[in-house]
């Protein structure tokens, strides 16, 4: 067992894999101990737990979820996020209350600084570029954070990861899980291309993630 991973994380990972029934499919990429940003759709508070638990143990040990500070930043949730899973807690609406556009931009880039520092020299991140939870029916447009982080750390691979049925297993506003099978599909690595604009990259990354969605009867 890797000493870097809290013992409770291994127990939670096994439980999460059990009640989510997650089936994992790697398409165009493989689970490797290399530095990556796994960017996924977001429809449930279970998302980062399921994605993290679905990674091989050696990969999990080097992978940190990015989570919203307003939800995961207090009480037991804070302990689980920061101490057990080494999550990076960020302000979900960084800069939204700033007095000026410049202050808002500065606040957003402080988050990019925080995430770049969290990557360090060898860690990976689980990142949700929509910025907030959706309904699970569609993937919302991506915020600019994925682009700016990819530009800041161009050596890090970006791997799309599509999660299905997590919104059914733990619907918004509920605390009890509902038994459904879930699916997690990883796609091929992408990077920001030379000369590619922010809108072009975000559109391409969004399409790469949505292309992994499957129609399944569960």
- Model pLDDT, residue 16: 85
**Residue pLDDT, tens place only, 12-44:** 989 888 888 889 999 999 999 999 999 999 877
| % of the chain residues with pLDDT over 90 | 59
Mean of pLDDT values over 122-147:
87
Domains parsed from the chain with CATH numbers? 7-210 (3.40.1130.10)
Cα separation, 98 vs 104, in Å, equals 5
Tokens for 115, please give them.
Answer: 């995430």
Cα separation, 26 vs 119, in Å, equals 23
Element (H, E) at 193: none
Confidence label for 55 from pLDDT (cuts 50, 70 and 90): very high
Cα separation, 135 vs 73, in Å, equals 23
Element (H, E) at 105: helix 101-119
Confidence label for 180 from pLDDT (cuts 50, 70 and 90): low
Residue 166 has pLDDT above 80, yes or no: no
- Model pLDDT, residue 74: 86
**Residue pLDDT, tens place only, 70-81:** 888 888 989 999
Backbone angles phi, psi at 16, to 5 degrees: -65, -45
């Amino acid at each position: 067992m890797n000493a870097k991973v809290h013992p409770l994380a291994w127990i939670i990972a096994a439980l999460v894999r059990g009640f989510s029934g997650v089936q994992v499919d790697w398409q165009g990429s493989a689970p490797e101990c290399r530095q990556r940003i796994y960017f996924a759709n977001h429809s449930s508070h279970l998302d980062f737990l399921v994605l993290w638990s679905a990674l091989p143990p050696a990969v999990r040990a080097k992978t940190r979820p990015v989570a919203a500070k307003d939800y995961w930043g207090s009480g037991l949730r804070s302990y689980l996020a920061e101490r057990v899973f080494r999550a990076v807690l960020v302000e979900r609406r960084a800069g939204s209350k700033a007095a000026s556009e410049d202050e808002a931009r500065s606040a957003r880039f402080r988050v990019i600084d925080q995430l770049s520092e969290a990557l360090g020299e060898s860690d990976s991140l689980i990142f949700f570029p929509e910025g907030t939870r959706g309904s699970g029916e569609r993937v919302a447009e991506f915020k600019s954070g994925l682009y700016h982080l990819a530009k800041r750390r161009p050596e890090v691979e970006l791997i799309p990861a599509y999660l299905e049925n997590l919104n059914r297993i733990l619907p918004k506003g509920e605390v009890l899980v509902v038994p459904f099978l879930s699916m997690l599909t990883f796609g091929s690595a992408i990077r920001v291309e030379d000369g590619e604009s922010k809108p072009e990259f975000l559109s391409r990354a969004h399409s790469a993630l949505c292309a992994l969605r499957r129609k399944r009867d569960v």
